[in-house]
Amino acid sequence: MRTSRETLVGAFEADLPDGAVVTDPDLLLPYRNDQASGAEAGQPVVAVFPRTTGQVQAVMRAAHARGVPVVPRGAGSGLSGGANATDGCVVLCLDRMDAIRDIRPADGYAVVEPGVINQRLRDAARTHDLWYAPDPASRDWCTIGGNIATNAGGLCCVKYGSTRDAVLGLEVVLADGRVTRIGRRGIKGVAGYDLVSLFVGSEGTLGVVTEARLRLRPLPAPPTTAIAVFPDLVSAGRAVESIMTVATPSLLELMDATTLAAVERFQPMGLDTSAAALLLAQSDLPGQAGEAEADAVVSVCEAAGATESYRSEDPVQADMLLGARRLAFPALERLGAWLLDDIAVPRSRLVETINGIERIAATRDVVIGTFGHAGDGNLHPMIVYPREDPDAGRRALAAFDDLLDLALKAGGTVSGEHGIGVIKRRVLADELDPVAQSLHDSIKQAFDPIGILNPGKALPLRP
């Protein structure tokens, strides 16, 4: 007599092509978790690799009929454990659904499958003199489906918003295998509830995205870059607050001394490692307008106490500095065990928050490298500590929680762009009031009444 596991696998093998169903425990290992450090992961029983919406439907119908949990995933670039397996689950890998189905320049959108790599879409749009704005640091290998699941951000969020602001419509397979198309094909539309925004950022707990219509913008002008070096983080924070009252930069990024030193050790490029903080701003306004906006940023930084502030006339140097910012995470990651936080606060509370990060580092006796999207208040304090040191690990975990409390007390959020996943689920209830929690539970119940989609992630579910 066949076991329930064998019956489930048999159903998948009947509906999916050869090689699309994996049960070997060794081959399943890479699909247990994403990139989050310290996030729990279970043992899946099978991984499936559909190529069509119909095949995703077949997977969901078979899993739903048996009450088996399903964990959707893309490239596994997430940093919250949102794609981590649970014991006995089906891992639904969408990276083979990687077609760019259509690009419509006149209508300003692209139609893509969830496995399309972010940078690949950007490159394809460029051939039409168009631009896909969301640009996570992992854009060279993260997938559009994962970006949608987490409402991924990036360096350009300060001006162009996060992934949610680029999603016009979705095709979604629900928990029971039904398919729906939501959203719109044009830029405007207000018919019905905004279900698209509900799915964006839901971390695979409401449905499986199998197609997305994404807004494309005209290709921006080559950026003009402003750079400022500060003697302390507080002065840099004050500069950020003031910059956003006089300009709308296309990015405004911060790196502290710990991050600058780590990047310079990782890839020497002549960074000023004596600085307490570096601000990098860009304007994508064309010609003299971009130069004027960059000059305004320089003036603000000088008034805030920058020891050096200038508009770069050298695009090679500007590209190098932007590359240095993108290296912040991998450079700090090399220094030891790590915990990466992802807090966001109102810009008016940025200085207070930066001061708080420094106090937490001193109180908990840990190293914290702070970098992030200062223009929209989204900071990534990264705690680094020695491996194989249990006491340091405990201090790091305490510091991680302290950072979350710090963000909430500043009127902010525990996640600006990485999502809740596993590592922040325990504190989500601190951000959502009881009525909001009840609404979340009701929405989950409406879309996934038996609770098979990515259980244990993101939502404060009913006990």
- Over residues 86-116, the pLDDT tens digits come to 999 999 999 999 999 999 999 999 999 999 9
Q: Give the tens place of pLDDT for each residue, 116-127.
A: 999 999 999 999
- What average pLDDT score do residues 340-364 get? 95
Please provide the average confidence, as pLDDT, over all residues in the chain.
Answer: 95
Nearest CA to 255 among 343, 354, 156, 371? 371
Q: Which residues contact 18 (CB under 8 A, 6 or more apart)?
A: none
pLDDT score of 463 more than 50: no
292's CB contacts (< 8 A; 6+ apart) are: 285
**If pLDDT is split at 50, 70 and 90, which confidence band does 309 have?**
very high
Instruction: Name beta bridge partners: 92.
Output: 48, 72
Provide, rounded to the nearest whole percent, the portion of the chain with pLDDT above 70. 98
C-alpha distances out from residue 140 to 143, 157, 326, Å:
9, 17, 11
State the maximum Cα–Cα separation within the chain, in Å, rounded to a whole number.
78
What sign does the dihedral 242-243-247-248 (CA atoms) show? negative
If one compares 1 and 354, the residue with the highest pLDDT of the two is 354
pLDDT value at 411 more than 50: yes
Q: Which of 3-7, 239-243, 311-315, 323-327 has the highest average model confidence (pLDDT)?
A: 239-243
pLDDT digits (tens, 9 = 90+) for 35-79: 998 899 999 999 999 999 999 999 999 999 999 999 999 999 999
pLDDT band at 2 (very low <50, low <70, confident <90, very high): low
For residue 225, the surrounding DSSP H or E stretch is strand 224-230
How high is the pLDDT of residue 399? 98
101 vs 319, residue with greater confidence? 101
What is the token pair recorded at 308? Answer: 């050096």
State the pLDDT at residue 26. Answer: 95
| pLDDT one-digit tens code per residue, 218-265 | 999 999 999 999 999 999 999 999 999 999 999 999 999 999 999 999
pLDDT above 90 covers what percent of the chain? 91
Cα-based angle 422, 155, 83 (whole degrees, multiple of 5): 20
pLDDT band at 188 (very low <50, low <70, confident <90, very high): confident
pLDDT tens column, 262-306:
999 999 998 999 999 999 999 999 999 999 999 999 999 999 999
Residue 1: its pLDDT value, please?
37
CA distance readout (Å), 307 to 257, 271, 369: 14, 14, 21
